[in-house]
Amino acid sequence: MENDKEKLNTLLLKIENLSLRQQNFEAEINSLKQEIIALKGGNPIVNEPIVKEVELPPAQVPPFATVFPPKNTPPTFNAPPIKPSQPSFADKFNRANMGKSDFEKFIG
């Protein structure tokens, strides 16, 4: 259980770090777009402040991040597999049914 909490905390930290990196990339992309627009249209380049990555202190786990298992779960029911019955051909071939057919009578 403790291992799960540690893993949850590390995953939350990774998400925060990736979010910050995404914001940095977005700022770089926007500045490049502005430079391209300025070069195409002749507009002056507006310099934006460069955002530097800042390490955040370890975050506390928010109360909504804890996951509780459901309390009232219905029981699982697994029905045993039903095997199809094998057809019995012995019932079809008995002495009463084994009389000569018209074809056999014709041949002889």
pLDDT in tens, the chain (108 residues): 678 888 888 999 999 999 999 999 999 999 999 999 989 886 555 566 666 776 766 666 555 556 666 667 666 777 777 777 776 766 676 666 666 667 767 776
Question: Most distant CA pair in the chain: distance in Å?
Answer: 111
Q: Is 8 exposed, middle or buried (0-12, 13-18, 19+ CB in 10 A)?
A: middle
Domain limits, the chain:
1-68
Radius of gyration of the chain (CA): 39
* pLDDT of amino acid 62: 57
* pLDDT of amino acid 79: 76
Q: What is the pTM of this model?
A: 0.35
* pLDDT of amino acid 27: 93
* pLDDT of amino acid 29: 94
* H helix runs in the chain, sequence order: 2-41, 102-107
Query: 68-85 burial by CB neighbour count: b if 16+ within 10 A, else e?
Result: eeeeeeeeeeeeeeeeee
**73 vs 65: CA distance, rounded Å:** 21
